[in-house]
């Protein structure tokens, strides 16, 4: 739970008014509450499965400001109208942008500035997938098929992941665009953690990645026919696109595919962002199969929208910082310098004199 130390420092709980720490499950609520107790930070808890009497007492304690912090699940949602909530920490990703917006809207209702901090880890998606599929995290070991409704909810989850990974577009504008509302960068006034230079459109570039999507679709289709897709998880695909030299990449001959090293000049975060965006837009789909040991094995397959892109030849654009795309002049000069250095080393090897071999003369009989 040490990852909470930095968010708690940022919200300055000693100076600010009451706040909420949102968790994904009751188990997480209890763990975080115990961690805060170990730090001598007064708090209370709230979740749906709690004893009704305890739940009501904890809620009233927080509403009357007898304790500043409440650690809760999304059960602490609609109907909460506490004006002095000045900060919220999300310890896990939300199931959708709408849920993230609604939970964050509990803060700042008195018109004063409020702080919203979102903790993010790619592993969080497995917890959210369990909640989407079963409503109860305890039933995650049960295997079921994905219906259309579940698939739609999972694509909403990937929109949240893409929102977390994107650090070049104003976060407030992304939230408002989700509700089809116009929002200019100037309105943000640097209230999100995106660098100020990225609030200027001149520092950003629209990149057409249709070729990448097409090659991904072709490669995944070939793997699907050969039954090799179980080894191609989200992380593995990221490593293949980056041209990783890990042993497993060569073990399964992924270095021979058309997507190997396709985005080697990109930072790993942006490769993950592209994959998350493709998953959100249903060009890719993360599928699970039941593991022979426990839980699920996740792997990536082509999504329902991938065929439309290849058939209609539609473009697929994403917005990235200019520095992500390497300058062609610089890359050529680097390749030339590398080739020169290689040729020089070869010449040096040729000119290197052979070592003299000393041989002992055998005595004559």
Residue 64 belongs to some domain of the structure: yes
Whether residue 209 sits in one domain with residue 192: no
The pLDDT confidence band at residue 1, using thresholds 50, 70 and 90, is low
Residue 342 belongs to some domain of the structure: no
Phi, psi dihedrals of residue 34, rounded to the nearest 5° = -65, -35
In whole angstroms, give the CA distance from residue 255 to residue 240: 7
In whole angstroms, give the CA distance from residue 296 to residue 300: 13
Whether residue 277 sits in one domain with residue 130: no
The total of other beta-carbon atoms located within 10 Å of residue 84's CB is: 16
**Segment 333-360 mean pLDDT:** 51
What are the residues whose beta carbons fall under 8 Å from the beta carbon of 72, sequence distance 6 or more?
A: 20, 21, 22, 23, 29, 45, 46, 47
Whether residue 279 sits in one domain with residue 191: no
Range scoring the smallest mean pLDDT among 38-52, 216-230, 273-287, 318-332: 318-332
Residue 343 belongs to some domain of the structure: no
What are the residues whose beta carbons fall under 8 Å from the beta carbon of 87, sequence distance 6 or more?
A: 11, 13, 16, 19, 20, 107, 114, 115, 116, 117
The total of other beta-carbon atoms located within 10 Å of residue 157's CB is: 25
Whether residue 210 sits in one domain with residue 173: no
Best-predicted range by mean pLDDT (54-63, 339-348, 354-363)? 54-63
10-28 residue pLDDT tens: 767 656 678 999 999 899 9
Whether residue 87 sits in one domain with residue 9: yes
Domain range for 320 is 202-324
In whole angstroms, give the CA distance from residue 309 to residue 304: 10
CATH code of the domain containing 308: 1.10.10.10
CA torsion through residues 237, 241, 244, 250, sign: positive
Residue 256 belongs to some domain of the structure: yes
Whether residue 180 sits in one domain with residue 235: no
Whether residue 305 sits in one domain with residue 265: yes
Whether residue 303 sits in one domain with residue 161: no
Predicted pLDDT at 180: 83
Last residue of some domain: 199, 232, 263?
A: 199
Predicted pLDDT at 263: 93
Model confidence at 344: pLDDT above 60 = no
Model confidence at 56: pLDDT above 70 = yes
Whether residue 213 sits in one domain with residue 195: no
In whole angstroms, give the CA distance from residue 283 to residue 303: 4
Q: What percentage of the chain reaches a pLDDT higher than 70? A: 75
Helix, strand, coil % over all residues of the chain, rounded to 5: 50, 10, 40
* DSSP H stretches of helix in 72-209: 97-104, 124-134, 148-165, 171-178, 185-188
Whether residue 177 sits in one domain with residue 294: no
Last residue of some domain: 179, 199, 219?
A: 199
Last residue of some domain: 199, 221, 246?
A: 199
Residue 86 belongs to some domain of the structure: yes
Secondary structure class of 207 (helix, strand, coil): strand
Our count of domains for the chain comes to: 2
In whole angstroms, give the CA distance from residue 317 to residue 205: 10
Residue 345 belongs to some domain of the structure: no
Range scoring the smallest mean pLDDT among 75-79, 216-220, 254-258, 299-303: 75-79
Predicted pLDDT at 143: 47
Residue 362 belongs to some domain of the structure: no
CATH code of the domain containing 137: 3.40.50.300
In whole angstroms, give the CA distance from residue 193 to residue 197: 11
Whether residue 163 sits in one domain with residue 15: yes
Whether residue 269 sits in one domain with residue 224: yes
157-168 residue pLDDT tens: 999 999 998 888
Residue 331 belongs to some domain of the structure: no
- The model carries a pTM of 0.77
Model confidence at 77: pLDDT above 50 = yes
More confident residue, 239 or 154: 239
């Amino acid at each position: 739970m040490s990852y909470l130390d930095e968010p708690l420092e940022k919200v300055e709980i000693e100076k600010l008014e009451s706040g909420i720490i949102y968790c994904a499950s009751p188990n997480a609520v209890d763990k975080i509450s115990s961690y805060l107790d170990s730090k001598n930070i007064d708090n209370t808890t709230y979740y749906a499965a709690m004893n009704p009497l305890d739940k009501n007492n904890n809620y009233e304690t927080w509403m009357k400001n007898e304790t500043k912090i409440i650690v809760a699940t999304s059960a602490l949602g609609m109907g909460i109208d506490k004006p002095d909530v000045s900060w919220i920490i999300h310890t896990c990703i939300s199931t959708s942008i709408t849920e993230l917006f609604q939970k964050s809207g509990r803060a700042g209702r008195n018109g004063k500035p409020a702080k919203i901090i979102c903790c993010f880890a790619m592993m969080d998606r497995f917890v959210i997938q369990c909640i989407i599929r079963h409503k109860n995290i305890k039933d995650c070991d049960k295997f079921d098929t994905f219906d259309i409704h579940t698939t739609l909810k999972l694509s909403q989850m990937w929109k949240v992941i893409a929102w977390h990974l994107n650090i070049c577009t104003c976060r407030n504008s992304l939230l408002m665009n989700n509700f089809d509302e116009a929002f200019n960068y100037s309105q943000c006034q640097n209230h999100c953690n995106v660098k100020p230079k990225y609030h200027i459109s001149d520092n950003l570039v629209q990149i057409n990645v249709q070729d990448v999507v097409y090659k991904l679709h072709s490669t995944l289709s070939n793997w699907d026919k050969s039954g090799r897709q179980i080894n191609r998880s989200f992380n593995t695909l990221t490593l293949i696109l980056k041209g990783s030299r890990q042993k497993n990449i060569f073990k399964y001959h992924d270095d021979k595919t058309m997507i190997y090293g396709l985005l080697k000049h990109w930072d790993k975060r942006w490769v993950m962002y592209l994959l998350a965006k493709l998953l959100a837009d249903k060009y890719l789909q993360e599928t699970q199969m039941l593991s022979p040991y426990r839980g699920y094995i996740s792997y990536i397959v082509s999504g329902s929208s991938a065929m439309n892109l290849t058939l209609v030849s539609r473009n697929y654009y994403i917005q990235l910082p200019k520095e992500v795309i390497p300058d062609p002049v610089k890359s050529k000069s680097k390749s030339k310098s590398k080739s020169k250095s290689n040729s020089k080393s070869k010449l040096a090897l040729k000119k290197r004199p052979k070592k003299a071999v000393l041989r002992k003369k055998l005595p004559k009989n």
